[in-house]
Structure 1
């Protein structure tokens, strides 16, 4: 196994986390120290050789670049005109995420990520901000839509690169979303429609979450059961979603004789298209990176190629979206992917030696390694441990891939034509065919996650 790129990845991760947690001056200091270490290492290669200090040079150089980039972003955030606005202002902004309901049901509050482009009549450089407001006027808007709205400006959330937090009134539309966002929104809405026609209410609210990460219709009680059973990762877009969908596409094209390089291009196109479908938010892009690594681990001729790919994904993700360094979801994705690459094949081989069928051995190995490695992170973040998590993930693992692939196909076909057309009819048949799988997943979540002892408090 090739571990060399994991060391620079760990250094970039640590530097980014320190830069977000510490004052801006600390990041500048880290950048200077890292640059000095990289320069000294480069000089030392003449005497000691690249093999002895090359890893130090690469790691310190990446750390210096990361710290410098982060310090520049923090300085730009502090100097932005929006950061000096107090009270209310009229702004023009572009939505970067779907307005998502928050808080208790019935309060009618939403949250979204936005980019502010104009304050009053003054054009400004794009400023990322956190938006909260009443659901009226916001729900149903798509990412990429431009609006004008009166907002109350507040300080930004800590440990982020957001410029401000905004509390908004009802917006006025001043632009249409990009075509790809409109198409993605239509696909998501049509999947909700055909799911409501073909499934029971609980399953109809769950299916869009399992397929596209759309949790807007998910029942709160069922959500709690999934969380207690250790299955909540299934209702959000994860690296597993990308690996399953992309893996299925690659298996199809490889089975008809497509060369490996052309198949890799197909896989890239599928990942990009899926990102557009489920929204290109930082969490989705993080999942796409991890999913690409998982697909590489599945199809690479040498398993050792997977760890350098994982290291590159971590470095690229953190350089582009530094806030990932403090997001539990990023840590969970990296830990699960690393466990699957390192230990799942060994456990699979051991199970096969015990005469376990190959397919079942793969499922058990991936579920057990991912659950065991991520459990400590979940405990640190939530203070709770799901005592049934491994069992629940093993039980639902056989139907997860079926639901993901068939559900994605149904979403794409269902968007063709009118709501009562042939496409919607075929999609409804596909969704109805998922009824037993959906029933099984819900039954496992309610049976294992329903009892009070399913999740125990570790930290009071």
Structure 2
């Protein structure tokens, strides 16, 4: 099953990249199987033929889906930039954005009818609506009439964009299950509304992926520390929610097949709560794979379930094949299933069983995902494993109590606030871990996102995955590796290297330097030989003057003061700028002062 899942995934990727040319690759692969088939055992030949068949199915499904989108009349109207009336169903929650003309809202609409250029058609497809803030009141599942201008979309799975959309006209409200999920989501937000902003935003994100209220600085800290998966719907969320539901069911006497019914009901409820978008379906499937991996023979069962999940998701939704979230989910699950058990057994030789698993799971998942994360960000986080290890114990109580607070709050608001308070305390620890880890000198290192860089990183991760269980089997080696990681994260090697090569600063060919001027800003932008534009100067004239001396700057053709010019003139211009101009501005140059808002 893992091979069949990989075949479907590769087939869909090839189609997304090259279209119908993927059939040529299938033909070549079929020729190789035909040539090598007589030399292989019958079982291997059948397996390769099955892999080719499922890859062909994935290619065909992706081609048909893209042809359907390209052949949609919505594409024709979009090419003409036609003004249209669209009747459709809201299939995503609206998200507020700041556009060129002011606040706007973005959401997705599954089209049923379109009227444009004196033509009225019944059609399908999905459009992305970009409209006035009134769209923020649109509810998931309701049918609306939208008016705007259709334009071409770059997304192969989206038929068109509907821009400049005016306020929607409601035709029919959402179905009862969507109304129920909206009520629960609102109750979860109310249960933590009295907590600090970062806690009030993170609890809903953990429970159902609602991260609209999460402050931007927390999102950035989570990206730096490898905790971003907590702010989006992931398999971990489903595993925690459904696992808790199964524990309650067992406690009240539910057994055998009825436990499976309870589990399936929990999965369906989670999907409704977190929305039926592709990312949620992917997370639900991967969470189900995680549940399969528990118990006896978990490694074999987990790999089989993972193969089935990958093949099924790619066949149903081919666009997932090139989605970064899908790759991260698959790799994280595979890392936990493959590397988690041997690493946990190696650590258990000198650590308690629970502690060994707590270290092994985030290590395996992060190691498997590192190449993809580096390809997206160009960085490798050195604190991700430690941050996930420290934050992990607080994830389960925060998620479960946040959901319980939302459900109980529907009946007893005070009890919901009480659960929300405890959930807020739990996420407060996660926020503290993210902030402190992101502030460490060696939190992340630049790696690059080129193909050779990612290839080298992938090779290093594979070698480390093979060697790590053998290395950490012994307490001395494991403690030494841990100490080395801690030193790197604290930036000790970097500071030692800087001390050794301090005489070579600044580096040759420097372009932009941020001078350390204390409480303030000062930038030097190289514009020629021994010449630089100075942007701001800071409060201390000696600091910026010394920085320019060390840079070898002898001429400043332009000084820019970016803000607070009246106050800056009385303080900075009378102190720092004379020091700059006295020693670095040539008599023939002209100093210009610019004031910006």
Same fold by TM (over 0.5)? yes
- Name the structure 2 match of 1:133: 131
- C-alpha distance in structure 2 between counterparts of 1:77 and 1:133, whole Å: 22
2:370 to 361, 366, 375: 375
- C-alpha distance in structure 2 between counterparts of 1:451 and 1:351, whole Å: 26
Contact 1:89 1:119 in 2 (8 A): yes
Query: How has the CA–CA distance of structure 1 residues 191 and 59 changed in structure 2, closer, same or farther, with 3 Å as cutoff?
Result: same
SS of the aligned residue for 1:218 comes to coil
Contact 1:385 1:458 in 2 (8 A): yes
- Per-residue CA deviations over 1:165-195 (Å, capped at 9, x if unaligned) read 2212321111101111111111111111121
Contact 1:254 1:260 in 2 (8 A): no
> Does residue 92 of the first structure (1) align with residue 87 of the second (2)?
yes
Contact 1:113 1:130 in 2 (8 A): yes
Q: CA deviation at 1:301?
A: 4.8
- Name the structure 2 match of 1:144: 141
- Name the structure 2 match of 1:192: 189
- Name the structure 2 match of 1:419: none
Contact 2:93 2:139 in 1 (8 A): yes
- Per-residue CA deviations over 1:326-376 (Å, capped at 9, x if unaligned) read 11110000001001111111121222221x222222221111111121111
- Name the structure 2 match of 1:113: 108
- C-alpha distance in structure 1 between counterparts of 2:436 and 2:102, whole Å: 30
- C-alpha distance in structure 2 between counterparts of 1:126 and 1:98, whole Å: 20
2:11 to 12, 15, 31: 15
Q: CA deviation at 1:324?
A: 0.6
- C-alpha distance in structure 1 between counterparts of 2:123 and 2:365, whole Å: 42
SS of the aligned residue for 1:406 comes to helix
SS of the aligned residue for 2:123 comes to strand
- C-alpha distance in structure 1 between counterparts of 2:347 and 2:98, whole Å: 45
- Name the structure 2 match of 1:69: 61
Within-5 A mapping of 1:224-303: 224-299=220-295, 301-303=297-299
Contact 1:70 1:322 in 2 (8 A): yes
Task: Give the number of the structure with larger relative contact order, counting CA–CA contacts within 8 Å between residues 6 or more apart.
Answer: 1
- Per-residue CA deviations over 1:50-69 (Å, capped at 9, x if unaligned) read 41311111111111111122
Contact 2:380 2:447 in 1 (8 A): yes
- Per-residue CA deviations over 1:7-31 (Å, capped at 9, x if unaligned) read 1211111111111122x43245556
2:431 to 422, 438, 442: 442
Contact 2:8 2:314 in 1 (8 A): yes
The alignment's TM-score, normalised by the length of structure 1, stands at 0.89
Greater Cα radius of gyration, structure 1 or 2: 2
- C-alpha distance in structure 1 between counterparts of 2:136 and 2:318, whole Å: 29
- Name the structure 1 match of 2:348: 352
Query: How has the CA–CA distance of structure 1 residues 105 and 189 changed in structure 2, closer, same or farther, with 3 Å as cutoff?
Result: farther
The alignment's TM-score, normalised by the length of structure 2, stands at 0.70
SS of the aligned residue for 1:174 comes to strand
- Name the structure 2 match of 1:78: 70
Count of residue correspondences: 442
- Name the structure 2 match of 1:393: 388
Contact 1:157 1:165 in 2 (8 A): no
Contact 2:203 2:399 in 1 (8 A): no
- C-alpha distance in structure 2 between counterparts of 1:105 and 1:78, whole Å: 29
| Gaps in structure 2 of 5+ consecutive residues | 450-597
Q: CA deviation at 1:36?
A: 8.1
Query: How has the CA–CA distance of structure 1 residues 123 and 294 changed in structure 2, closer, same or farther, with 3 Å as cutoff?
Result: same
Query: How has the CA–CA distance of structure 1 residues 435 and 302 changed in structure 2, closer, same or farther, with 3 Å as cutoff?
Result: closer
Q: CA deviation at 1:256?
A: 4.9
Contact 2:96 2:104 in 1 (8 A): yes
Query: How has the CA–CA distance of structure 1 residues 36 and 109 changed in structure 2, closer, same or farther, with 3 Å as cutoff?
Result: farther
Q: CA deviation at 1:205?
A: 1.6
Q: CA deviation at 1:452?
A: 6.4
Q: CA deviation at 1:33?
A: 6.6
